């Protein structure tokens, strides 16, 4: 059946669910672009840290002078904080940035379907969970898609956009124009575990960590090979530290469960760091020391 295409205005306000690293970065990007933002974060401590991170991020963006799309003046005032999803009753677009746990995200999408306007678009910033499963928890699967922002969201100019089997053309059009208003480009991929980036990158991280576990090289040497020999700005283990090793572990679990592929099993070097609470940059230590 051919889908009809109609032009919709962009929403004036956007909801963000979760104020962790990605949620705070996405919220900052939206506020700087002039949107009113409603951030839902039930954990008061996380919300307080996010306020500080957003304030620092806006100040940095102003100092760097990152183009006409940065509207730093009053950006913080455009963000409203809440601890319940009911606060999203009047937004036209929601970007979910909760912890990478499928059951949690499914619960959030079912609740978003209940408490947001019927025409609101619901997007997930998941890095690996198939969008079709989240859309199935709603009565509006055509208005659900994936927006996989990269970290740090305010500084990365391209987003992996995930089209689920029932995502409509109109939904993709609105999402594309929203991203353009943030100064970001899009690359559209089809739905599936890990999409494209993490389907490939997580295997690279696993093999790099396995090389460390097997004593082939230390983390610094492993990353230096990718940076100096292949011209990558950041090696796979520094990338994992930036993502957060706890998030990497969660993503590997999702990929392993959905694909049945044992290659997505964390090697000892990664597993031991996560068990010790060394998650990378955000804790000061991961494969590298940031203290």
What pLDDT is attached to residue 66?
Answer: 56
Q: Which two tokens stand for residue 252?
A: 């590997």
Q: Are strands 144-148 and 93-96 parallel, antiparallel or unpaired?
A: unpaired
Q: Which residues pair with 13 in a beta bridge?
A: 36
User: pLDDT band at 72, cuts 50/70/90?
Assistant: low
Nearest C-alpha neighbor of 148 from the set 130, 132, 166, 136: 130
Tell me the percentage of the chain whose pLDDT exceeds 90.
91
pLDDT digits (tens, 9 = 90+) for 131-149: 999 999 999 999 999 999 9
* CA gap 219, 253 in Å, rounded: 23
129 pLDDT higher than 70: yes
Please tell me the predicted confidence (pLDDT) of residue 7: 67
Q: pLDDT at residue 231 above 90?
A: yes
160 three-class SS: strand
What pLDDT does 52 receive?
96
d(CA 87, CA 78): 15
- pLDDT band per the 50, 70, 90 thresholds, residue 250: very high
Q: What is the pLDDT of residue 5?
A: 47
What is the pTM assigned to this prediction?
0.91
Q: Tell whether the model's pLDDT for residue 73 goes beyond 90.
A: no
For residue 61, what pLDDT band results from cuts at 50, 70 and 90?
A: confident
Per-residue b/e over 87-113, b at no fewer than 16 CB within 10 Å? bbeebbbbbbbbebebeebbebbebbb
Segments in 116-187 forming alpha helices (H): 131-135, 169-181
Lowest-pLDDT range of 23-27, 70-74, 92-96, 188-192: 70-74
């Amino acid at each position: 059946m051919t889908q009809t295409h109609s032009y919709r205005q962009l929403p004036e306000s956007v909801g963000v669910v979760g104020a962790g690293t990605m949620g705070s970065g996405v919220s900052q990007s939206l506020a700087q672009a002039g949107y009113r933002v409603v951030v839902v974060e039930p954990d008061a401590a996380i919300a307080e840290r996010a306020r500080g991170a957003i304030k620092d991020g806006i100040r940095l963006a102003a100092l760097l002078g990152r183009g006409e799309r940065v509207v730093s003046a009053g950006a913080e005032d455009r963000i409203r904080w809440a601890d319940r999803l009911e606060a999203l009753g009047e937004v036209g677009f929601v970007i979910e940035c909760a912890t990478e746990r499928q059951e949690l995200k499914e619960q959030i999408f079912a609740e978003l379907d209940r408490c947001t306007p019927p025409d609101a678009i619901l997007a997930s910033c998941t890095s690996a969970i198939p969008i079709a499963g989240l859309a199935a928890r709603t009565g509006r699967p055509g208005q659900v898609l994936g927006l996989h922002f990269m970290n740090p969201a305010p500084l990365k100019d391209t987003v992996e956009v995930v089209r689920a089997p029932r995502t409509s053309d109109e939904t993709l059009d609105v999402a594309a124009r929203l991203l353009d208003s943030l100064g970001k480009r899009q690359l559209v991929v089809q739905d599936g575990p890990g999409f494209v980036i993490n389907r490939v990158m997580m295997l690279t991280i696993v093999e790099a960590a396995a090389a460390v576990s097997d004593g082939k090289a230390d983390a610094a040497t492993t990353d230096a090979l990718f940076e100096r020999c292949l011209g990558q700005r950041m090696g796979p283990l520094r990338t994992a530290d930036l993502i957060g090793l706890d998030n990497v572990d969660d993503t590997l679990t999702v990929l392993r469960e959905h694909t049945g592929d044992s290659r997505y099993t964390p090697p000892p070097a990664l597993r031991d760091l996560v068990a010790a609470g060394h998650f990378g940059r955000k804790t000061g230590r991961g494969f590298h020391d940031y203290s």
